[in-house]
Amino acid sequence: MSKLLDWYRSPKQRREMLTIASGALIAAALAAGWLLNALQMRDVLMVAAAVIAGSDIAIRAAASLRNRHISIELLVTIATLGALAIGEYWEAAAVTFLFIFGAYLEARTLSHTRKVLQDLLDLAPATAVVLREGQQVEVLAHEVEQGETVLVKPGTKVPVDGEVLEGRSAVDESAITGEPFPEEKMPGAPVYAGTVNQAGLLKVRVTGAGADTTLARIIRRVEEAQEEKAPTQRFIERFAKWYTPFIIILSGIVFLLTQDIEFALTVLVIGCPGALVISTPVSVVAGIGRAAKSGILIKGGEYLENAGKITALALDKTGTLTEGKPRVTDVVALQPEPVLAGGSAMMHSSNPPSGGQGSQWTAVQQEVLRWAAIAEAGSEHPLARSIMTEVEAEALGTIPASDTFDTCTGRGIRATYNGHIIGVGTPELMAELGVHVGYEAEAHLARLQSEGKTAVLVALDGFVLGVLGIADTLRPRAPEMIRELRRAGVKRIIMLTGDDRRTAEAIADAAGLDDVRAELLPEDKLTAIRQLQNEGHVVAMIGDGINDAPALAAADIGIAMGAAGTDVAIETADIALMADDLMKVPAAIRLSKATLRNIRQNVAIALLTVTGLLAGVLLGEVHMAGGMLIHEASVLIVILNGMRLLRV
C-alpha cells in the first residue's frame, strides 16, 4: 500500500498509471457498448475514464489558477466538465485520455531533444583519484583542490582540467573539441575534464575542478544558449499569453450566439496553442545540442536564427585561412655543385650526411638551409624561427652556434663561423657585405616575391649561395572550406587582412577567393563589414586576434576558432569552434540554416493545424475528440520534426 502511495506521489509514475487506467477503461467501455450492447455500463466506464484522466489535469489547472495563470489544462478541464454535464461521455473520456497520453509522449520525445545536454552532464566523472601524502584517495571530482595531483588510469575519464606531469597517452577529446582523432599527451600538455584517457597512466596537476572546468563552462554555455529565447520564440510566447484567454472568450461568444454547448466546448479544446508554443524551442534545443556535439558552441537561439540567415562572410587571413606560422616553402641552391668544399666537409664531419635523409630538400638545398641556420641560430626574428623550425622538422642535424653575429634591422643578419662570413637578408645587406647578386638570384627573388612570399638571400664568403622563400602557408582544407561555404549558400566571401597586397592575393588565389581587401587597419576591417551590411547582407566574421575585435563585434555573427582552453573565446564569440578545424565553419552555417528552416516548418505546421481545426470546428466538420487527436498529433509532429536536427 505504501508502495502504491509512493507511486501516486511521483507525478510521472502517477500520470503513466492514470493514462493506462483511463485507456483500459475506454477500451472496456467500447467493448461493453459494441459487444454487449450494455449502453449504461459503457457510459459508466467512460465517465470513470474521464474522471481518472481528468483528475490530474484538473489538479494542474487548479494549481495554475491559484497562481493566476490561465493554462491549457484549464481549457481542457472546462471542456471535460461541460461534456460530462451535457452527457457527451465518450467525448469527455477521449479528450482527457488523449491529453494525458499526448503529454506522456511529448515528455518522452522532448527528453530526446534535451539528450545532448544530458550526455554532456554524464561526461563529467563523479570521482577522482588524488595523490595525498603518497596515498591514492578517491574524492568527489568537484572537491579536488587546484594544484593537487590526480591519477588518471587508462580507459577512464579525466575528472579535472589540468596539466600532464608524468606519463604519455592518447586522449580522446572528441567530447570537447568534436575531433574524432585522439590527441597525443605528454608531460606539459593540457588535459580537459570529460575526455577519455585511452592508453597509459597519467599524473595530472589540477588547474580546475567542478564548475571551474572547460566542460562545465561548455555545459553552462550550451544551457544558456538553449535557454536564451530566439526572436521567433519570444514573439510566439507574447502571442500565446493573449491567445489562451482569447480562446475562452471566443468559446463564450460562440455559446452565446449558437446556444450550442458542445460547439463552444470544442472550440475550447482545439484552441490549445500546444504545437505553436513548443515549435521554436524544440528546434533551437535540438539545433544547439547537435552543434555542441560536433564542437560548435552557438551562443543562443537568436544567434542560431541569425547564423541561418548569413549571406556574406568575412575571413581574417593570418591564423584563419593560414596556419599563422611562417614556414620555409622554397630553397633555391644557386651553386649546382657544393663548391664550398671546406664548409661542406666541416658540416659533414660534425653532422653525418644521413641526418638529412628523407628530407624534401636535396643535399645542396640542405647546405643552403644549414648555413642560413648557423647565422640565424641566435636570432629571435620570426623569419629566423621559421628557418630553425624547418631545420628541426627536416632533421638536418644539430646546428653549431656562430662565433659572432649581428642583426642589421630591416635587412637581415651577418655572422661568422670558423672563419667563414655568412649573410642572410635583403639585396641591401648583400651590397653592404660586398656580395654581387647575380641575374639568376634576382630572378628568383622577384619570382618568390610575386608569389607573396618573403624572400631572403643567403651568402657565404662573398658569393650568393641561394635564396630562401618563407611564407605563412594556407591551411590544407581552406579551399575545400570555401567551396563548402558557397555550397551552404554564402554568396559573398571576402578576405580581410593587414598584410600586404601581394601576399594577400597569393593566399586568396590558393584558397579560391577573388575578393581581397589587403593592407587594412582594424578600423578598415570594421568599415568593410559595415559596407557589406549596407548592401543588405547578413554578415559573419571569422577571426582571432585583437585586431579583429572591432570587426567581430560589428558583424551579425562573430565566429572564433580553436576555442578549446581559451575561455574568452567561449564566453564572447557568437559561435565558438572548439577545434582548430576550418570545416566546422561551413558545418555551423549549414546547421544554423537547417535549424532556421526547421523552426519555420514547425511554426507553419502549428499555425496550419490550429487554423485548419478552428475552421473545421466553425464549419461543424470537426468534433471534440477528433479535434483533440489532430491537435496532439500536431504537437508530436513538431517535436519529431525538431528531432531530425539531431541526425543532420
In the complex with other proteins, the residue whose CB is nearer, 106 or 179, is 106
The β-bridge relationship of strands 575-577 and 557-560 is: parallel
Helix residue ranges per DSSP H, 294-403: 301-307, 341-350, 363-376, 382-393
Determine the Cα–Cα distance for residues 95 and 90; give it in Å rounded to an integer.
Answer: 8
In the complex with other proteins, the residue whose CB is nearer, 390 or 632, is 632
Applying CB under 8 A, the site for other proteins has a residue count of 40
Please give the C-alpha separations between residue 22 and each of 39, 53, 96, 213, in angstroms, as whole numbers: 18, 6, 9, 48
In the complex with other proteins, the residue whose CB is nearer, 60 or 157, is 60
- The answer to whether residue 316 is catalytic is yes
Determine the Cα–Cα distance for residues 226 and 283; give it in Å rounded to an integer.
Answer: 10
Of 2, 40, 67, 135, the one binding other proteins (CB under 8 A) is 67
In the complex with other proteins, the residue whose CB is nearer, 73 or 548, is 73
R_g of the chain, CA atoms, integer Å: 35
Write the burial class of residue 630 (CB in 10 Å: 0-12 exposed, 13-18 middle, 19+ buried): middle
- SS3 of residue 495 by DSSP: strand
In the complex with other proteins, the residue whose CB is nearer, 145 or 515, is 145
For position 103 contacting other proteins by CB under 8 A, the verdict is yes
Cβ neighbours of residue 213 closer than 8 Å, sequence gap 6 or more: 124, 160, 161, 192, 193, 194
In the complex with other proteins, the residue whose CB is nearer, 226 or 266, is 226
In the complex with other proteins, the residue whose CB is nearer, 203 or 234, is 234
Minimum CB separation of residue 32 from other proteins in Å reads: 31
Contact track, other proteins, 446-485, x by CB under 8 A? ----------------------------------------
For position 277 contacting other proteins by CB under 8 A, the verdict is yes
Q: Which of 161, 316, 472, 499 is catalytic?
A: 316
Q: Where in 26-65 is the site for other proteins (CB under 8 A)?
A: 56, 59-60, 63-64
Neighbouring C-alpha atoms within 13 Å toward the C-beta of 198: 10
Minimum CB separation of residue 48 from other proteins in Å reads: 21
Determine the Cα–Cα distance for residues 376 and 398; give it in Å rounded to an integer.
Answer: 13
Minimum CB separation of residue 578 from other proteins in Å reads: 19
Cβ neighbours of residue 353 closer than 8 Å, sequence gap 6 or more: 363
Determine the Cα–Cα distance for residues 340 and 422; give it in Å rounded to an integer.
Answer: 12
Minimum CB separation of residue 120 from other proteins in Å reads: 11
Of 167, 281, 423, 558, the one binding other proteins (CB under 8 A) is 281
Long-range contacts of 350-358 (CB under 8 A, 24+ apart): 350/397, 350/398, 350/400, 351/396, 351/397, 351/398, 352/397, 355/395, 355/396, 355/397, 356/394, 356/395, 356/396, 356/397, 358/395
Determine the Cα–Cα distance for residues 306 and 238; give it in Å rounded to an integer.
Answer: 21
For position 278 contacting other proteins by CB under 8 A, the verdict is yes
Q: Where in 237-276 is the site for other proteins (CB under 8 A)?
A: 237, 240, 274
Q: Where in 3-22 is the site for other proteins (CB under 8 A)?
A: 9-12
**What is the 8-class DSSP label of residue 200?**
S
Give the range of 178-186, 208-216, 354-362, 581-589 binding other proteins by CB under 8 A: 208-216
Element holding 223 (H helix, E strand): helix 214-227
Of 32, 72, 415, 606, the one binding other proteins (CB under 8 A) is 72
Q: Could you list the active site residues? A: 316
Residues that bind other proteins (CB under 8 A): 9-12, 56, 59-60, 63-64, 67, 69, 71-73, 103, 106-107, 110-111, 114, 117, 121, 142, 210-211, 216, 219-220, 223, 226-227, 229, 237, 240, 274, 277-278, 281, 284-285
